[in-house]
Structure 1
Amino acid sequence: MTERKPAAGRPAESDENRPGASRAPGRPRSERAEKAILDATVDLLAEESGVDGVSMEAVAARAGVAKTTIYRRWPNKEALIVGALGSLKGPLPELPGTGLRDDLLTLARHMSVERGFKASRCFWNVVGGAEKYPELYARYKQDVITPRREVYREVLRRGIERGEARADLDLDVAVAMLVGAFAYHKPPDPLPDGFADHVVDTVLRGISAD
C-alpha cells in the first residue's frame, strides 16, 4: 500500500513557493497547508471507502495543494494517515493527581469529548481494514494508541502504589475495560449522559483495594 514519491526530475511547482503568490495574514502558509492536508485526509478516511479512498492525489485535490507539498511532510500514504489520526486526538489533558478516580475521570471525560462522529468513523475504518492493511494498523497502534494507553497504565500503577487499587490488578485488562467501553458505541450512536463517569465507577468497583 505504500506509495512512492514522484520520479526524479523537475518537481511540480508547489502552492507554497509559487512566484508572486501573496502571503495571507494569520497562520503561516506552511501551517495552513499542513492543516488542510490533515483535514482532507481525515475527511477522505471517514468516508465510505475508508483507507481505500485515501491517496496522495485525492488528498492533494481535496486540500488544494501540490503532491510535492504532501511528500515534503509525509513520505507515503501510511505515514500521512497515521499523522492525520494523531491530529484528531490532540494532547491528553493535565491530570489532577488527586487520586485514582479523579485521574481516570479526567481521561474518560476527555475521551467522551474527543469522540466525534468523524473521528469514530476514521478509527473504525482503520481497524476494519487491519487485515488488508496490517502495516498501517500496526503503525497506528504503535504511534497513536499505545502511548495514550500507557497513560492509563501509569495512572493505575500510581493507584496501586497508593493502595487505591488491588495489588494483583492486571493493568492490560483494566485499560481494556476502560477504553473498550467507549469503542462499544460505534458511530453515529451517541454516548449516554454521564457515560464516562459510569464507566470509571463501574471499573473501580471491580479493581478497588477496599
Structure 2
Amino acid sequence: MTHTTDQCAARPPGRPRSERAAKAIVDATLDLLAEEGGVAGVSIEAVAARAGVGKTTIYRRWPNKEALIIDALAALKGPLPEPRGESLREDLYALAKAFVADKSDKKRVDCYWSVLGSSERYPELMDRFTREIVEPRREVIREVLRRGVASGELRPDLDVELTLWILTGAVAHRTRAAGAGPVPEDYAERVVDALMTGLAPR
C-alpha cells in the first residue's frame, strides 16, 4: 500500500506539547509562590493541579519542588543587558534601569520575598537561589565596576563590593518604600550619576 503525504499527520501549529506543559508548570509555580507567601505553600501536587498536568510530567523535568522553584525564578528574572563596554556610565545606567524594572514588577518581587522569607526553613534552596540566580547578576556589575577602575573612570581604590551594594540597595529599597509613590522614570539615571560623582577619580 502506498502512503501519500496527505495521509501523514501534520504537526499542529504552535509550541510542542512538552514546551506548553513546561511553561504552564513554571507559571503555576510562580503564581503559588506569589499568592501563598512562601515556599511551604508550593507543592508538586498544587503545581500539577494548577498547571493541568500530572505529577509525573513535572517529575520528568524536576526531581523536587526546590529544583522547580529555582528554574521558575530563573525564568522570571531573565538576563541582564549585555554591557557594551563603551562607557561606564551607560553600562551602569542600563543595568540600573533593568534592576528598576525587575524590582517594580509586583509578581517578581512577591516571588523573591517568598523565597527570602523562607530562607531559614529552606537554607539549601536559598543557597541555590543566591549562587545560581543572584550572584551571576552581581558579577556582571562587579565586572563593569572593575573595568571602570581599569579605564580610570573610577577611583583606583574603589571598594567594588560596597559600590555594588550601594547601587543595588538604592534600587531595591526605593521600589519597596512605603508611601514613596511610583519610581520616577529618571530614577536609575539619577542613581548612577550620584554614584559616579562620588566615585570619580579625585
Aligned-partner Cα distance in 1 for 2:182–2:72: 23
Q: Is the 8 A contact 1:42 1:122 kept in 2?
A: yes
For residues 128-207 of structure 1, the aligned pairs below 5 Å read: 128-184=117-173, 185-186=175-176, 190-207=182-199
Letter of the structure 2 residue corresponding to residue 167 of structure 1: P
Unaligned ranges ≥5, structure 1:
1-21
Aligned partner (choices 69, 85, 99) of residue 57 of structure 2: 69
Answer with 1 or 2: which has the greater Rg: 2
Letter of the structure 1 residue corresponding to residue 196 of structure 2: L
Alpha-carbon displacement from aligned partner over 1:56-90 (angstroms, at most 9, x marks no partner): 01111111111111111111111111111100111
Aligned-partner Cα distance in 1 for 2:142–2:120: 27
Q: Is the 8 A contact 2:37 2:110 kept in 1?
A: no
Letter of the structure 1 residue corresponding to residue 74 of structure 2: G
Unaligned ranges ≥5, structure 2:
1-9
Deviation of residue 97 (structure 1)? 1.6
- Mean alpha-carbon deviation: is it higher for 24-33 or for 157-166? 24-33
Q: If the length of structure 2 is used for normalisation, what is the TM-score?
A: 0.87
Aligned length: 189
Q: Which residue of 2 aligns with 1:58?
A: 46
Q: If the length of structure 1 is used for normalisation, what is the TM-score?
A: 0.84
- Mean alpha-carbon deviation: is it higher for 84-93 or for 139-148? 84-93
SS in 2 for 1:156: helix
Aligned-partner Cα distance in 1 for 2:121–2:183: 30
* Structure with the largest fraction of helix: 2
Q: CA 1:187–1:53 in 2, change beyond 3 Å: closer, same or farther? A: farther
For residues 81-120 of structure 1, the aligned pairs below 5 Å read: 81-115=69-103, 116-120=105-109
Q: Which residue of 2 aligns with 1:49?
A: 37
Deviation of residue 49 (structure 1)? 3.0
Q: Which residue of 2 aligns with 1:32?
A: 20
Letter of the structure 1 residue corresponding to residue 98 of structure 2: H
Aligned-partner Cα distance in 1 for 2:42–2:92: 35
Q: CA 1:56–1:24 in 2, change beyond 3 Å: closer, same or farther? A: farther
- Mean alpha-carbon deviation: is it higher for 127-136 or for 161-170? 127-136
Deviation of residue 107 (structure 1)? 0.8
SS in 1 for 2:164: helix
SS in 2 for 1:209: coil
Q: Is the 8 A contact 1:23 1:29 kept in 2?
A: no
Aligned-partner Cα distance in 1 for 2:183–2:42: 28
After the TM superposition, list the runs of 4 or more consecutive aligned residues in structure 1 that deviate by more than 4 angstroms. Answer: none
SS in 1 for 2:176: coil
